[in-house]
Structure 1
Amino acid sequence: MTDETIFPGTPPIDCDLCPRLVAYRAEQQARHGTWWNAPVPPLGNANATMAIIGLAPGLKGANRTGKPFHGDDAGKLLFATLAELGLATETPEVWSVPGVLITNAVACAPPGNLPETAEKHACRPYLAAQLAALPGLKVVVALGEAAHQAAIKAIGGKLPKYRFGHGAVHKLPSGVLLHDSYHPSRLNLNTGTITPEMLRTVLAAALVPVGA
């Protein structure tokens, strides 16, 4: 998202679709009045040809900073890997990702980092609008199974046909390629479910043109 414009599909800052998440935002606002504590807008612009989708903002990460994947361990690894691949550059405390849109399946931080099914459904139109605003979109990288499901439903496709698996690649009916990765959360990193090399391999594969 640029500083001058509101990206299409950005939820309103006072979005009230999910009562549980609204209450949780209010609770965090009372505890941490200087934090963002609102739906987190996407990072990027309409020139993006790749979209990276996570699950939801981390409480002390994007919910605090107001920028996707800023301020937590998952973001440190994601942006470091994107920088290694030439897709991101860092300015003081903010990452620039020309050519990439970074967003989440659910825009508000959920209790325990786990959004409920109804909350995923409520936020899906926002995600769909964000992806639809990318005329040059060619590739989506889903970080985790929930992001995989959200991407398919937002872009178009049937879940049973496209099964989630780390490193799996699916061509959706629109022609967009969906690359799956385990989420680079602290828990997944600590348990070895994903490693920095595993994430790099998926992101590097997403850069390879169709038919190359």
Structure 2
Amino acid sequence: MNFAPSPLAATEPPRDCPLCPRLVALRDDLRAEHPEWWNAPVNAFGDPDAWLAIVGLAPGKHGANRTGRPFTGDQSGPLLFDTLAAHGFVSGAYESSPEDSLQLHGAIIINAVKCLPPQNKPTPEEIHACRPFLAGQVADLPNARVFVALGQIAHQSAVKVLGGRLPKCRFGHLAEHRMPDGRILIDSYHCSRYNQNTGRLTPEMFDAVFARAVALRGTTDAPR
């Protein structure tokens, strides 16, 4: 499998990042069990000149941790990329593999946590340890003026990186938060299999988030 390179290569953690012992141990176990998988911090994916940045939670075991590309290879990907395609951010076809022809235009995906956490639940210490990488990637996206946070952990990390204050920025689906410098953060429930299967997040609800992002673009100083 050919793994996707990063559009923000200078901001990525090393492949053998040692910061979180629990995540390192899981990574080592999976490298022994599945040596053909990516099994490393997952790179950003998308347009380095993006005006829209999507902040995910962390790699899924059979998705990004396996394929090396965010939201690729598990049930979260079709909903995300179909929704982005509906709003003009996609060329090519999503085929659940980093070898497909999918490309993003005007949008980029970055994660709050770069490595796979057990049970998809990073600890506060792991989230904090990974935040400098998120901050570095946000700083390397000067055109990104609208952000979408997928889930509460991504919301909290994005607020802190963007200079907001959590007591004033409460998470809620379709909640909007204007940051001190004018950038805008929109919250969404995560497009996980669980949220889709339980009806917590429907395609219509998810579409509304990105429709709102497109509408809000003109209210910031984002390049057109």
Structure 1 residues 6 and 135, CA gap change in structure 2 (3 angstroms): closer
Structure 1 residues 66 and 4, CA gap change in structure 2 (3 angstroms): closer
Number of paired residues? Answer: 212
| 2:23 counterpart letter in structure 1 | L
* Structure 1 residue 88: Cα displacement: 1.3
CA separation in 2, counterparts of 1:5 and 1:141?
Answer: 19
Specify the alignment match of 2:139 in structure 1. Answer: 132
Normalising to structure 1: TM-score of the pair? 0.95
1:20 partner SS: helix
1:121 partner SS: helix
Specify the alignment match of 1:201 in structure 2. Answer: 208
Specify the alignment match of 2:166 in structure 1. Answer: 159
* Structure 1 residue 2: Cα displacement: 7.4
Specify the alignment match of 2:9 in structure 1. Answer: 7
Query: Which structure 2 residues correspond to residues 34-53 of structure 1 after superposition, within 5 A?
Result: 34-53=36-55
Specify the alignment match of 1:178 in structure 2. Answer: 185
Specify the alignment match of 2:77 in structure 1. Answer: 75
Structure 1 residues 130 and 5, CA gap change in structure 2 (3 angstroms): closer
CA separation in 2, counterparts of 1:154 and 1:180?
Answer: 15
| 2:134 counterpart letter in structure 1 | L
Contact 2:7 2:47 in 1 (8 A): no
The runs of 5 or more residues in structure 2 that have no matched partner are none
1:27 partner SS: helix
1:68 partner SS: coil
Query: Which structure 2 residues correspond to residues 51-62 of structure 1 after superposition, within 5 A?
Result: 51-62=53-64
Structure 1 residues 97 and 169, CA gap change in structure 2 (3 angstroms): same
Normalising to structure 2: TM-score of the pair? 0.90
CA separation in 2, counterparts of 1:130 and 1:151?
Answer: 11
1:148 partner SS: helix
The runs of 5 or more residues in structure 1 that have no matched partner are none
